[in-house]
Structure 1
Amino acid sequence: MADLVKWCLYIVYYYGRFTGLVNFEIDLKTGRTRVTKWATIYAAFVQIILFTILFYHTLGIRFITSMWVKANLLHEYVFMIMSVLRILCVLMALISRWFMRRRFVRLFNSFRRLFQSNPEAIQYCRMGIAAKCLCSKATEILQVTIALVIVKKYLTIHLVLGIWSVVSLTAIINLIITQYYIAIANIRGSYMLLNKELRLILSETQSLIPNRRGVFVTKCCHLADRLDIIARTQSELQDLTDRLSKTYEVQIFWMAISYYLNSVGSIYIMFSFGKYKNMVEDWPLSVVVLGVAYFLFFYFDNWINMYGVFELSDLHAEMLILMEQRTVLLPCLDNRLEAAFDSFGLSLARNPFKLRFFGVFEANRSTLLPWANSLIINSLFLIQYDMQNF
């Protein structure tokens, strides 16, 4: 499994370089990063070519009309708005990468140091990383397969370039989210190790025997030193999480808009396939099967993303619960250990753990319900408008 995670990380890096998302070089043997002229020129060239082809196909309508001959005007508007806004969202996300390239390099170096100081943390998140990479690649493969099957009668070099550009756009979106997920997973694994160590400290503290004074004081000092290391590591992890959120906040903002608009449009399009059967009557059964598989992988991928963020918040909440257990410890602990518990508890209370973006939006379960509610309402609005006017 460790080798599988290593290959997943390699694929994410090389795929990022190939699509132009990663605009700096990483030495995979040493982990050192370099901003080189070749990496800059290649990334800029690939992105310019990609968006030139995308805007040409989207605004030229040729690729769209070949797939939507039997669609009504609302379908064309929805598809056009989805396509243009999806392109603009990815474009803004990539522009932010150029302006913050140095910050991304420093952030990667911080995560490299975190991994080197705590390599066993990866074992707690390897399944999530492997599943995330598998789902991302599956959605891309299914998307290109569906497109090729639908337009195989009209397949030309011009159309192949259009499909390539759309799939490349999906790949960039998946890569941005995958990079963020891997970073969160690394922090999550480190938190799991801290909670495991904190449980051991609490258990050993409860088993102390105050009557043996010399041994008692020595053990208390040793436990206090270990608790100080946990407190320092937790503070560093929280600071790293804040830096990660601030570095990715522009990209996460645009990716959230892209996911939201495409989800609304996709729900309406699926409704249309049921209402206007003539739209898909020429499609083979394999397209339906592949389409179902695509949506299953797509929404499972979204669930993995949300689970990773929510679990990190849960792990911090678990740490707070563990620290509350200190109230049932021996009433006569050594002053050094008492001070370590007090300092750590005060630090946790003074710096609450929150995944914020732009200092306002917070990623937690309470924000998920309004988002889902808005998604359903706007999808129903499109469906209602279609039923009333077409």
Structure 2
Amino acid sequence: MATPFSDHQILESIASDADVMHTILDLSAQRKKLNLSLVLNIVVLYTKNTIFNIGVGLYYLAELQVLGLFELIKSDLEKLIKETESVCLIRNRRGGVFATKCCFLADQLDILAERHYNLRAIVDEMTELFKIQSLSMSMVYYLSAMGTIYFTFCSIWYNNTGFDSSLWGFLLIALSIAFLIADNSISPNLGFLIQDQVREINEKLSERTLFSQELDPRLETVFENYKLQLACNPIEYNICGLFKVERDRIIGMINSAIMSSILLVQWELK
């Protein structure tokens, strides 16, 4: 299993490779007009992108750790559900064994709920701390997708880049698009994975309704409180309070970038 550090290196490598591909494409497209001033401008732009990618990498690493902690909560909850199911099979409930085990399980479930609440608070703090970076990421990803499609068309349509008949040129463009897609999908998808983990935790809590017998009132109350906590405090991501980050909205942004690129291509053909 990949460690958070190795996954962080993968993200930085993909983001760096995407910027390298864009830099090479820019230099190749402007090679006939290449001068010291243009090279310095591209180097400065690449440096800014590198600094931006460091911030994105830190956000990704923090989310990766949160995802791992939610995975641990889900694993501990699965074990607790199995223990609770075995306690339900105890027939003699008048003795102290049943009450003691239920109290112990209730305490353990309270601890899990507290861990979940603390992680939820961390996610809120991360969203607030990186809200400017999140807005920048959305704008950069949107404009990069639109610009890459438009640049690909211009590289094939015109002869000044040399990519229209070069196998290496087509390969370079394909690699640039591949790295762009990977760079744009890793970070948002990690937030969706965290939401999926929370959804699975909620489903695990619902399994206690399938038990053959009732639980101790205190344990039942803790289960209900945990589910109520999940219902009242769902994990949501938003961009500076402007809109929520959802899968449907990401697809809409992709469609918008493609449509904008098509408009640019149509304007170029006139």
Specify the TM-score bucket, using the shorter chain as the normaliser: 0.7 to 0.9
Paired residue for 1:174?
53
Contact 2:23-2:46 within 8 A present in 1 as well: yes
Q: Is residue 236 of structure 1 aligned with residue 132 of structure 2? A: no
Aligned partner letter, 1:253: L
**d(CA) in 1 for partners of 2:202, 2:196:** 10
Aligned partner letter, 1:313: Q
CA offsets, 1:279-298, max 9 Å, x none? 42699754543332222122
Q: Is residue 264 of structure 1 aligned with residue 143 of structure 2? A: no
Paired residue for 1:186?
65
Paired residue for 1:245?
127
CA offsets, 1:328-382, max 9 Å, x none? 1253312221221121111112212211233341112121222122112111111
**d(CA) in 2 for partners of 1:328, 1:294:** 51
Paired residue for 1:196?
75
Question: SS at 1:357's partner residue?
Answer: coil
Residues 258 and 199 (structure 1 numbering): CA distance in 2 closer, same or farther, change over 3 Å? same
Aligned partner letter, 2:60: Y
Residues 153 and 284 (structure 1 numbering): CA distance in 2 closer, same or farther, change over 3 Å? farther
Paired residue for 1:293?
175
| Aligned positions of 1:195-344 closer than 5 A | 195-208=74-87, 209-212=89-92, 213-280=95-162, 286-344=168-226
Contact 2:30-2:161 within 8 A present in 1 as well: no
- Stretches of structure 2 that go unaligned for 5 or more consecutive residues are none
Calculate the aligned-residue CA RMSD, in Å: 2.6
**d(CA) in 2 for partners of 1:359, 1:282:** 44
**d(CA) in 2 for partners of 1:269, 1:155:** 18
Alpha-carbon distance, 1:126 to partner: 5.2
**d(CA) in 2 for partners of 1:251, 1:334:** 48
Aligned partner letter, 1:168: T
Paired residue for 2:18?
139
- Stretches of structure 1 that go unaligned for 5 or more consecutive residues are 3-122
Aligned residues between the structures? 267
Aligned partner letter, 2:255: N
CA offsets, 1:253-302, max 9 Å, x none? 12212221232122112111222134426997545433322221221122
**d(CA) in 2 for partners of 1:357, 1:342:** 32
**d(CA) in 1 for partners of 2:110, 2:268:** 62
Alpha-carbon distance, 1:189 to partner: 0.7
Alpha-carbon distance, 1:129 to partner: 2.7
Identical residues among aligned pairs (%): 30
Deviates further, 197-206 or 302-311: 302-311
**d(CA) in 2 for partners of 1:141, 1:262:** 13
Residues 370 and 234 (structure 1 numbering): CA distance in 2 closer, same or farther, change over 3 Å? same
Question: SS at 2:130's partner residue?
Answer: helix
**d(CA) in 1 for partners of 2:260, 2:169:** 27
TM-score normalised by the chain length of structure 2: 0.87
Q: Which has the higher contact order (CA 8 A, sep 6+)?
A: 2
Aligned partner letter, 2:238: R
**d(CA) in 2 for partners of 1:311, 1:349:** 18
Paired residue for 1:386?
268
Aligned partner letter, 2:76: E
Question: SS at 1:361's partner residue?
Answer: coil
Residues 195 and 270 (structure 1 numbering): CA distance in 2 closer, same or farther, change over 3 Å? same
Q: Is residue 161 of structure 1 aligned with residue 26 of structure 2? A: no
**d(CA) in 2 for partners of 1:137, 1:349:** 39
**d(CA) in 2 for partners of 1:297, 1:225:** 47
Contact 1:128-1:304 within 8 A present in 2 as well: no
